[in-house]
Amino acid sequence: MTAPLRADPATVKVALGDRSYDIVIGRGLIASLGARVAALRPRAKAAIVTDENVARHHLAAVEAALAGAGVATSRMIVPPGEGSKSFRTFEQICEAIISARIERGDLVIALGGGVIGDLVGFAASAVRRGLDYVQVPTTLLAQVDSSVGGKTAINSAHGKNLIGAFHQPILVVADTALLDTLPAREFRAGYAEVAKYALLGDAAFFSWLEANWSDVFAGGKTSAGAAREHAIAVSCRAKAAIVARDERETGERQLLNLGHTFGHAFEAAYGFSDRLLHGEAVAAGMALAFGFSARLRLIPAAEAERAIRHLAAVGLPTAPKDISGQLPGVDRLMDLIAQDKKVKRGMPTFILVRGIGEAFVEDGVDRADVRSFLSEKLAEK
């Protein structure tokens, strides 16, 4: 199977009535950012928030594109990494936006990966009781997942993304050329979210990924770039459709958390550090979800192994033993799972599977079964 070649950017609409917006996907789109922003909000000013790494590669081009369209800008640069999703950085961004005299008719631009998108979106939801913002995702993970759907948040000492708001952007510009500067590890971690969409609801897409994942990784200006853009567009369409049906995550949208209950617990146990990137945690969490589903006899063991084998083939962790350093204990992980934002009346919610592309929400998981399963996995060498 091959991806269809595209000459024009792909546009995916997130259909939310008068809050609908477009996700534009293609190579070289930064050059058109100013014109797109000016068309949406004529005469608006923009505050750009990014991190040190992204600023070095892309901030000048973004500022030039906005200036070329007559959009006045200010900037704020924060340290890279999950540690910036904190109260301290949130406060700094809010104060910087206010100091820049960004009014309700102006907007904020989140230029970066998932950390920047989550953090800036949350600040935009709070300053002046709500500002418009534009997502310009610079990582694969952000382009296919975190920039879409309006879930914004910072982390708590008790867990990941526990403090935040639903606040939709007015535009997402996913320039695939920005991925050329992404370190291999970051790209691989983002691929976990691509695989997630296939594993939770699209068996045909999973088969396509098995055959074409190396082209998705190759990308760039070669013909493989079509495969990369195809994978991003399919992922965005899947998320956009789910968000349109369940914006506030009261039902179907919970499926997008496949792998996240286990994964977030490991992330929190490691202090949201570079030791375990979010996408790596999701990959390990999905492998555990498939393994746990097989343990519960919900899915044939061979099909669970097929999913796990693909994640391992691209170089993602699929078990606790694949994570370097000392592992957390089962008590610590169970405490963190109990703090997961999907917990209902003290009962953890898991996304389990009956097959590849057949995920479902399970509220009645026995904690003893989870503990036993995790204990076994933590003991593997």
Active-site hit among 63, 82, 229, 249: 249
Is 63 in the active site? no
Spacing of C-alpha 278 from chain mean position: 8
**CA–CA dist 304, 308 (Å, integer):** 6
Question: Is 249 designated active site?
Answer: yes
- Rounded to 5 degrees, φ, ψ at 98 are -65, -40
Active-site residue identified among 257, 280, 310, 341: 257
Which of 27, 41, 85, 151 is an active site residue? 151
Number of helical (H) and strand (E) elements in the chain, helices listed first = 14, 11
Residue among 152, 364, 348, 360 at smallest CA distance from 252: 360
- The active-site residue, picked from 230, 264, 341, 377, is 264
Nearest to 292 by CA among 281, 277, 307: 307
| Catalytic member of 85, 228, 253, 342 | 253
Taking the C-alpha atoms of residue 133 and residue 110, their distance in angstroms, rounded to an integer, is: 7
Alpha helices, DSSP H, located in the chain: 33-40, 52-54, 60-68, 87-99, 114-126, 140-141, 184-201, 203-218, 224-245, 260-269, 278-295, 301-313, 330-338, 367-379
Residue 57 designated active-site: no
Residue tagged active-site, from 27, 41, 237, 239:
239
Catalytic residue among 167, 228, 278, 310: 278
Identify whether 88 is a catalytic site residue: no
Catalytic residue check, 58:
no
Which of 82, 186, 193, 267 is flagged as catalytic? 193
Is 95 among the catalytic positions? no
- Answer for the pair 3, 152: CB distance below 8 angstroms, yes or no: no
- The active-site residue out of 260, 310, 341, 377 is 260
Asked if residues 256 and 195 have their Cβ atoms less than 8 Å apart, the reply is no
Which structure tokens are listed for 350? 């898991």
Q: Is 278 a catalytic residue?
A: yes
Check if 151 is active-site.
Answer: yes
> Who contacts 348 (Cβ-Cβ below 8 Å, separation ≥6)?
261, 337, 338, 340, 342, 365, 367, 370
Annotation marks residue 230 as catalytic: no
Asked if 239 is an active-site residue, the reply is: yes
Which residues are catalytically annotated? Answer: 129, 151, 193, 239, 249, 253, 257, 260, 264, 278
